């Protein structure tokens, strides 16, 4: 445990050293990146040790703070280790990638500052999951959130980046208000702000406040995780941030919100059935909205951001089923749901880290994220193209990669929940909705690969694309290998999660892991044989092609004599039929057409936009009205010191009057 805490200190000190040496970009990068990797390596043994042994590690250090805040308490238990391993592992890979990625900005930006905030960001995430006092938890939460804000606004000279940072910051702080309320209720009933006194909150459950705390936590942590309707910051912030930061934000930071929710559940004791139903319903809604919006985006990183929303929804759907299964004494549903949700947390961290790093490689090699300006990249960036294609297959939950395994457990949980009971029909209907989400995800990633990587270059940027360096490709390759490993031996992942699953069950009799273990063992063999068959087929194809040769020429264009890249499918035309006929009206893209008219017609025009409906119809009008109201309060700012002094005197008088009233005989005390 001491090594983990030392690693956090190394990261913070390394960040300070990097910003102090900002005038030497190469030295700042070496210090900042080196400290991040060193800190992560120091912390990894504690996380892996707890994950494999199930024995928790803790550390208490006295410090001088008032009541209930007299100790720095940190601990790594099984639940913490499940989140700590991907945080530290993905951090190492993203740091190696980012050191090369940021070098392209050294001529026009200081690199010490982003490394400073990057190190604080990683240290904040680690502290959040190991904190065992409310005070330390919120300090770490704000450290993580504010550092992420400065990373999102790295290219603050662009208006859309500043807007993304503002949306992220407002959403984060609104979520903190709900979290503070939840922890204050817990602390009031436990008469302490130490986590250990919250377990379980029997007094709170007896008072009927457990449900209120769950709802407050769901809103507060859901805002960080990107649950609908609190997701609006995510598709703005992820594209704005540097790609290695986007990989961490999507791969692990939004999962910290899920960690917080699961930690709260360990305080509340046995769950109520409606908790699981509420979480599962919000998860399904989030998945549907997320993948529907991802299908329509032309910015690669916005596609991935909305896909992250979809996957957070799937995880919450699965965890909600697990909670409902425990509350209604359905151990098979509980085991499948909790196992599928936790396994998908790991799988999504690997897959989305892979996809965002690949997207960054494309941005680095072409200078654009717009898929309508890409195309033909597999010939110019073969490694990046191959990695992104494999990542897309995993994200689409297609065998033989790891996304398929955890998603299959979700299907089984829904089908088991639909075998009997008053919610049976609803569960079976949810199977159909989950299948639709899966189909939309597959189409989304076929669209992404087909438009961005295949075909002919659609712009000069794509025509002159160049492959990334080995320092950027190496971390992506490692993530690919980990995805394959999780697909071939998923049962080992479940074994590592067993301690966390035991911690999350209110009663051992209410959760069964036999079916998940048997299912994952079968899926592992299936994926292994399928991978072997695909590999053998690829080798045979290469041998046959080498012997017979192959002809290379343009795609047959129905005899058109002068084909151009403009006659290729666009991303919009690829998804038009689905968007128009399958999605509800409020999720469809908004199109504007100007058809040619008259004898001498002017050029026709066509445009399409896919704004987030909640941002456009709900949040933007709401905050616009609030901004106008606050603007009216500027009358209080006269710019005169004597008026400001009068405000101070008036406030002091009112405070003294209130204190006098409370201590006056007959007043309230």
Kindly state whether residue 187 falls inside one of the protein's structural domains: no
Distance CA 267, CA 638 (A): 50
Distance CA 645, CA 651 (A): 10
Task: Please indicate, yes or no, whether residues 539 and 643 belong to a single structural domain of this protein.
Answer: no
Task: Please indicate, yes or no, whether residues 571 and 647 belong to a single structural domain of this protein.
Answer: no
pLDDT at 65: 60
Q: Is 121 exposed, middle or buried (0-12, 13-18, 19+ CB in 10 A)?
A: buried
Pairing of strands 57-62, 71-76: antiparallel
Distance CA 555, CA 344 (A): 39
Task: Classify each residue of 311-346 as buried b or exposed e, where b means 16 or more C-beta atoms within 10 Å of its C-beta.
Answer: bbbbbbbbbbbbbbbbbbebbbbbbbbbbbbbbbbb
Structure tokens, 389: 């294609």
Kindly state whether residue 289 falls inside one of the protein's structural domains: yes
Structure tokens, 87: 């945080």
Q: Omega into 400 within 30° of 0, i.e. cis?
A: yes
Own/partner pairs, 432-440, CB within 8 angstroms, 24+ separation: 433/284, 433/288, 434/284, 434/287, 434/314, 434/317, 434/410, 436/288, 437/287, 437/288, 437/291, 437/310, 437/314, 438/396, 438/397, 438/407, 440/291, 440/292, 440/294, 440/295, 440/578
> What are the two backbone dihedrals, phi and then psi, of residue 592, each rounded to the nearest 5 degrees?
-130, 125
Task: Classify each residue of 527-548 as buried b or exposed e, where b means 16 or more C-beta atoms within 10 Å of its C-beta.
Answer: beebbeeeeeeeeeeeeeeeee
Pairing of strands 605-609, 590-594: antiparallel
Task: Please indicate, yes or no, whether residues 286 and 432 belong to a single structural domain of this protein.
Answer: yes
Kindly state whether residue 62 falls inside one of the protein's structural domains: no
Q: Omega into 200 within 30° of 0, i.e. cis?
A: yes
Task: Please indicate, yes or no, whether residues 659 and 524 belong to a single structural domain of this protein.
Answer: no
Kindly state whether residue 452 falls inside one of the protein's structural domains: yes
Task: Please indicate, yes or no, whether residues 541 and 660 belong to a single structural domain of this protein.
Answer: no
Task: Please indicate, yes or no, whether residues 528 and 380 belong to a single structural domain of this protein.
Answer: yes
* 161-187 residue pLDDT tens: 998 998 999 899 999 999 999 999 888
pLDDT at 67: 57
Low-confidence stretches of the chain (pLDDT beneath 70): 63-70, 199-208, 418-424, 509, 549-550, 552-557, 559-562, 581, 607, 638, 662-669
User: Angle 421-422-428 (CA atoms, 0-180°, nearest 5)?
Assistant: 80
Task: Please indicate, yes or no, whether residues 541 and 654 belong to a single structural domain of this protein.
Answer: no
Distance CA 517, CA 531 (A): 21
Distance CA 149, CA 46 (A): 29
Q: How many domains does the chain have?
A: 2
Residue partners of 237: CB distance under 8 A and separation at least 6 = 148, 152, 164, 165, 167, 168, 249, 305
Of 241, 37, 251, 357, which Cα lies nearest the Cα of 29?
37
Distance CA 563, CA 73 (A): 68
Distance CA 60, CA 604 (A): 70
Other beta carbons less than 10 A from residue 351's beta carbon: 32
Kindly state whether residue 317 falls inside one of the protein's structural domains: yes
Structure tokens, 486: 């999780």
User: Angle 298-302-305 (CA atoms, 0-180°, nearest 5)?
Assistant: 150
User: What is the model's pTM?
Assistant: 0.89
Residue partners of 632: CB distance under 8 A and separation at least 6 = none
Secondary structure of 215-265 as H, E, C letters = HHHHHHHHHHHCCCCCCCCHHHHHHHCCHHHHHHHHHHHHHHHHHHHHHHH
Task: Please indicate, yes or no, whether residues 337 and 464 belong to a single structural domain of this protein.
Answer: yes
Other beta carbons less than 10 A from residue 267's beta carbon: 22
Distance CA 540, CA 548 (A): 12
Structure tokens, 318: 């699965």
In a 13 Å sphere around the CA of 263, the CA atoms on its Cβ side amount to 31
pLDDT at 201: 56
* 65-80 residue pLDDT tens: 655 556 778 899 999 9
How large is the C-alpha radius of gyration of the chain? Answer: 27
Ranges of H-type helices in 328-381: 331-366, 377-380
Task: Please indicate, yes or no, whether residues 370 and 476 belong to a single structural domain of this protein.
Answer: yes
DSSP 608: E
Distance CA 519, CA 625 (A): 53
Distance CA 655, CA 661 (A): 10
Range of the domain at 454: 270-412+422-489+517-545+567-583
Task: Please indicate, yes or no, whether residues 668 and 525 belong to a single structural domain of this protein.
Answer: no
Kindly state whether residue 314 falls inside one of the protein's structural domains: yes
Task: Please indicate, yes or no, whether residues 539 and 654 belong to a single structural domain of this protein.
Answer: no
Kindly state whether residue 351 falls inside one of the protein's structural domains: yes
Kindly state whether residue 470 falls inside one of the protein's structural domains: yes
Question: Where does a domain end: 558, 583, 608?
Answer: 583
β-partners of residue 60 are: 73
β-partners of residue 605 are: 594
DSSP 367: S
Q: What Cα–Cα distance (Å) separates residue 334 from each residue in 345, 409, 505, 586?
A: 17, 11, 9, 34
Task: Please indicate, yes or no, whether residues 647 and 524 belong to a single structural domain of this protein.
Answer: no
Which is it for the CA torsion 79, 83, 88, 89, positive or negative? positive
Of 346, 473, 356, 341, which Cα lies nearest the Cα of 409?
341
Residue partners of 661: CB distance under 8 A and separation at least 6 = 667, 668
pLDDT at 22: 85
């Amino acid at each position: 445990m001491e090594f983990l805490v030392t690693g956090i200190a190394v990261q913070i000190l390394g960040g300070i050293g990097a910003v102090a040496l900002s005038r030497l970009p190469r030295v700042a990068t070496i210090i900042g990146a080196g400290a991040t990797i060193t800190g992560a390596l120091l912390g990894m043994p504690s996380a892996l040790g707890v994950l494999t042994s199930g024995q928790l590690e803790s550390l208490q250090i006295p410090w001088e703070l008032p009541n209930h805040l007299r100790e720095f308490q940190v601990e790594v238990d099984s639940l913490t280790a499940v989140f700590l391993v991907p945080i530290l592992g993905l951090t190492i890979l993203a740091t190696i990638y980012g050191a090369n990625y940021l070098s392209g900005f050294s001529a026009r930006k200081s690199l010490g500052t982003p490394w400073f905030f990057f190190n604080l960001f990683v240290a904040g995430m680690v502290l959040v999951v190991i904190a065992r006092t409310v005070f330390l938890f919120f300090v770490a939460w704000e450290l993580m959130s504010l550092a992420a804000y400065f990373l999102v606004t790295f290219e603050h000279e662009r208006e859309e980046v500043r807007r993304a940072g503002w949306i992220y910051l407002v959403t984060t702080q609104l979520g903190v208000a709900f979290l503070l309320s939840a922890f204050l209720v817990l602390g009031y009933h436990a008469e302490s702000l130490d986590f250990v006194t919250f377990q379980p909150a029997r007094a709170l459950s007896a008072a009927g406040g457990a449900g209120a705390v769950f709802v407050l936590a769901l809103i507060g942590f859901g805002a960080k995780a990107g649950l609908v309707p609190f997701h609006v910051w995510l598709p703005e912030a992820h594209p704005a941030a540097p790609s290695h930061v986007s990989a961490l934000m999507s791969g692990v930071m939004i999962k910290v919100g899920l960690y917080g929710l699961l930690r709260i559940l360990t305080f509340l004791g046995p769950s109520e059935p409606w908790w699981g139903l509420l979480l599962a319903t919000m998860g399904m809604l989030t998945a549907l909205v997320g993948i529907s919006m991802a299908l329509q985006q032309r910015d690669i990183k916005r596609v991935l951001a909305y896909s992250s929303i979809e996957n957070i929804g799937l995880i919450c759907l699965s965890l909600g089923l697990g909670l409902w299964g425990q509350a209604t004494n359905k151990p098979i549903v509980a085991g499948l749901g909790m196992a599928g949700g936790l396994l998908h947390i790991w799988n999504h961290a690997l897959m989305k880290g892979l996809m965002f790093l690949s997207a960054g490689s494309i941005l680095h090699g072409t200078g654009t994220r717009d898929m309508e300006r890409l195309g033909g990249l597999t010939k110019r960036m073969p490694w990046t193209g191959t990695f992104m294609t494999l990542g897309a297959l995993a994200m689409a939950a297609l065998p033989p990669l790891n996304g398929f395994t955890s998603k299959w457990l979700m299907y089984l949980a829904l089908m088991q929940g639909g075998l009997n009971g008053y919610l049976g029909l609803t569960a079976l209907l949810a199977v159909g909705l989950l299948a639709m989400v899966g189909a939309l995800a597959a189409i989304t990633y076929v669209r992404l690969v087909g438009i961005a990587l295949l075909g002919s270059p659609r712009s000069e940027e794509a025509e002159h694309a160049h492959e990334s360096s080995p320092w950027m490709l190496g971390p992506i390759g490692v993530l690919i290998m980990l995805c394959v490993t999780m697909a071939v031996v998923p049962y080992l992942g479940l074994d590592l999660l067993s301690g966390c699953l035991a911690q999350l069950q209110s009663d051992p009799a209410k959760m069964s892991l036999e079916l998940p273990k048997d299912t994952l063992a079968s899926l592992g063999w299936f994926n292994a044989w399928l991978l072997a068959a695909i590999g053998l087929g690829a080798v045979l194809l290469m041998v046959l092609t080498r012997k017979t040769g192959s002809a290379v020429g343009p795609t047959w264009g129905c005899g058109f004599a002068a084909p151009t890249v403009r006659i290729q499918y666009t991303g919009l035309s690829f998804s038009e039929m689905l968007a128009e006929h399958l999605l509800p009206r409020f999720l469809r893209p908004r199109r504007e057409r100007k058809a040619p008219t008259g004898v001498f017609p002017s050029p026709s025009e066509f445009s399409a936009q896919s704004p987030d409906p909640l941002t456009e119809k709900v949040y933007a009008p709401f905050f616009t009205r609030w901004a106008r109201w606050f603007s009216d309060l500027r009358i209080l700012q006269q710019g005169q010191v004597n008026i400001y002094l009068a405000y101070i005197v008036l406030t002091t008088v009112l405070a003294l009057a209130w204190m006098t009233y409370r201590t006056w005989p007959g007043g309230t005390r």
